[in-house]
Amino acid sequence: MRGVGTRILDRTTYAKYNAPSASTEGENLAKHTVSGVMFDEKLEEVLLICEPSKIPGGTEEKLFWQLPGGKCCHTKEKSEGCCPESKEETLVRKYFEETGYRPIAYELVDSQLRKNRENKSRYVKYLFLVKKIEGFPLERQVSNQEGPQWFLLGALPRNLYSSHRDYIKMAEIYLLDSATRFYGKQH
C-alpha cells in the first residue's frame, strides 16, 4: 500500500474520520444519497466524474468533479418515502449511470445524517468503498460532460467538491485501518 494514508493520516485527521456516525436509530429515514470511492489497483488513483452544479446562493452552473453516486429519490426534496431502493441498489444504479461501470464488490465505509439546505428535510449519506467493477467506461456523459476519469491522489482537480476530498480521505483511512487489522500492528 505504497504511501496510502501516510500523507493524510495524522492524529487530527484520524480522529475526525474515526468519529462515530450520526445515529438514525428509531427514525423512519427512507431517503438517502450514496457516493462510491474506487481506487486503482495500486491505490494511487481515484475515479471521478464531472457534472454541472450551481454554486450555493448562485444561479450560474459550473462544472465540478465528484465521486460517482447520487440520491435514491427522483425528487429534489428527498422527501419521506420517496426512495424505492436500498442504499446498495442506489450505489449500483448511480455508479452505472454515471460511469458505465457496475460495482460487484463494495463495502460500507461510513454513514452520516444530513439536512437538506433548501427544505431542511433529513436524509442519510452513505459512503462506499467500491472494490470491484465490471463494464466499460462511458466516453461522454449524456449531458456532454467529460466521461469518468482517473486522477492521481496527489493531483486531484481543484474543482473537486471539498466534501468529496474528505470522502476520499475517509476511504484511504478505512483501507489503512483494514490492512492494519488484517496484517497485525505495524511497527
- Of 44 and 81, more confident: 44
Residues 73 and 42: their CA atoms lie apart, in Å, by: 35
- Give tens-digit pLDDT for 31-40: 889 999 999 9
**Confidence at residue 76, expressed as pLDDT on a 0 to 100 scale:** 55
CATH code that applies to domain 11-178:
3.90.79.10
Q: How large is the average pLDDT for residues 4-13?
A: 33
**Confidence at residue 154, expressed as pLDDT on a 0 to 100 scale:** 95
Residues 60 and 64: their CA atoms lie apart, in Å, by: 13
Question: Where are the chain's structural domains?
Answer: 11-178
Q: For all residues of the chain together, what is the average pLDDT?
A: 77
Give this prediction's pTM.
0.75
pLDDT band for position 53 (cuts 50, 70, 90): confident
Interacting residues of 117 by C-beta distance below 8 A, sequence separation 6+: 56
- Give tens-digit pLDDT for 165-179: 999 999 999 988 887
pLDDT band for position 62 (cuts 50, 70, 90): confident
pLDDT band for position 122 (cuts 50, 70, 90): confident
Scan for cell 505504497, then name that residue: 2
List C-alpha distances in Å: 9 to 16, 18, 71, 150, 155: 10, 11, 30, 22, 17
**Confidence at residue 116, expressed as pLDDT on a 0 to 100 scale:** 77
Range of weakest confidence among 61-70, 72-81, 86-95 = 72-81
Q: How large is the average pLDDT for residues 13-42?
A: 63
